[in-house]
Amino acid sequence: MKLSRRNFLKLSGLAALTGTLAAKLGCAPKDGDEGPPPADAEELRIQYADEVATICPICGVGCGVICYVEDGKIVGTEGDPDHPISEGALCSKGSGLFCMYYVYEDGEVKVNPSRMTQVLYRAPKAADWEVKDWDWALTEVAKRIKKTRDDYFVEKNADGVTVNRCTALAWLGSAMCNNEENYLFQKMCRALGVTNVDHCARL
């Protein structure tokens, strides 16, 4: 169908007139006239919460986040549309910040039952997990790192060049650490000769 500019303007005016008449005759819905919500509708949990602007701690981009806080607890999070970096957008990790610590269940905020709060250890070929204390875990990790480094440390390569490296160990950095902590981690990796250094800030 070929539509001229004149006919387009005529049709646009007719559509606007039709909408105005419908509103005057009561055919169009009015604001607040949608009727009561369903009986099983859940109340918006951020309705009475305070907005607190903050920064997502997952990676170095620094996206803006709005936390909704009620009675000292976070009840929801969303991207900050006024933030100059992210402009309201969040990745899947940033969108899931709330669930790192809490879940919203049965109308209330609860500590996430899947969050680990203690050391669990399963011995080789064992079927069950054992609860261990943190001192035991740190000592065990340190012993295994030292043994692996002692067994696989390479001082010189095949050409006789000093390399001082251990490729049997790897370090996966944490996006929750600040620059100073990551600096210390990098120093430790260099002291151990670890060359496999990576980071978890990816989707």
Residue 190: CB partners within 8 Å, gap ≥ 6?
none
Task: Report the SS3 class of residue 54.
Answer: strand
Do 106 and 172 belong together in one domain? no
Q: Residue 43's pLDDT is what?
A: 61
Return d(Cα 166, Cα 73) in angstroms, integer: 45
| 123 located within any domain | yes
Closest of 174, 172, 176 to residue 196, by C-alpha: 172
Residue 164 tokens read as 């001082």
The pLDDT score that the predictor gives to residue 27 is 59
Residue range of the domain that includes 97: 50-111
Of 86, 111, 136, the position where a domain reaches its end is 111
Query: Would you say residue 183 lies in a domain?
Result: yes
Domains held by the chain: number: 2
State the CATH number of the domain containing residue 80: 2.20.25.90
SS (H, E, C) 68-82: EEECCEEEEEEECCC
| 174 DSSP 8-state letter | -
Are residues 105 and 148 located together in one domain of the fold? no
In terms of domains, do 105 and 125 share one? no
What's the pTM value of the predicted model, to 2 decimals?
Answer: 0.58
Same domain, 107 and 123: no
Is residue 154 in some structural domain?
Answer: yes
pLDDT averaged per 10 residues, the chain (length 203): 70 71 60 63 68 85 88 84 91 81 72 83 93 95 95 92 92 79 89 87 67
Rounded-to-integer distance, Cα 158 and Cα 166, Å: 15
Cα angle for residues 167, 168, 169 (degrees, 5° grid):
90
Dist CA 124 CA 51 (whole Å): 48
78 and 137, same domain (yes or no): no
Going along 112-160, which residue ranges are E strands?
119-121, 130-132, 154-156
> Is residue 23 one of the residues assigned to a domain?
no
Q: What is residue 139's DSSP assignment? A: H
For residue 119, the model assigns a pLDDT of: 93
Q: What is the pLDDT of residue 139?
A: 96
* pLDDT score recorded for residue 14: 72
Position 149 in a domain: yes
Do residues 59 and 82 both lie within one domain? Answer: yes
